[in-house]
Amino acid sequence: MDPASQDPSRHLTEDGRWTEPWGGSEDGRPCDKCRGRSQTGYTCWSCVLTGARSNCPVCQGKVRWPDRCPVCRGTGEVDGRPRHGVSVFPAVEGLYHYILRKDTDVEDSVVVELEAEPADDVDFDADQGAMLMVPRAILARDPADPEIAGRRSGAQRRTLRHPRRPPSVSRSP
């Protein structure tokens, strides 16, 4: 999701392929995401809201799991240096959930769909289902839909109070 006034093709330039933490960084400080424990719980909100998928590039159908903290990279201290890649979600529902959780207004915003390859780094909010990608092409640019955001806001409140169990995913050996 980008401001409507920004040209999405900036994501196709090297300068436009970097992600920084929202609100800046306090490098070297104790990590507030994992509280210095080096691990945190992950939730793929795209799969929580649309159903678990074994081909999900974020969770491969796990939906919830523990892993190394994406902010401190397991050190217990914040590593807020910019990371190579554009922060994305595999489903627009996960994106809207994230934006609403950050209490961000979607007015005058656009949703940009990218053709991209996975980056070699981890997104600061990977624990919420975000991932870093290196864009190769802009596939679509559509106005953000405040109605969808409103519906997701209601679903978000229900999900946070009563998380539904993800469906089982069977995998062949």
Q: What pLDDT, in 10s, does the model give residues 1-53? A: 899 999 999 999 999 999 998 777 788 899 999 999 999 999 999 999 999 99
**Residues 173, 171: Cα–Cα separation, whole Å:** 6
E strand or H helix at 94: helix 92-101
What does the pLDDT read at residue 101? Answer: 85
Count helices and strands in the chain by DSSP H and E runs: 3, 8
The structure tokens listed for 144 are 């953000």
User: Is pLDDT above 90 for 113?
Assistant: yes
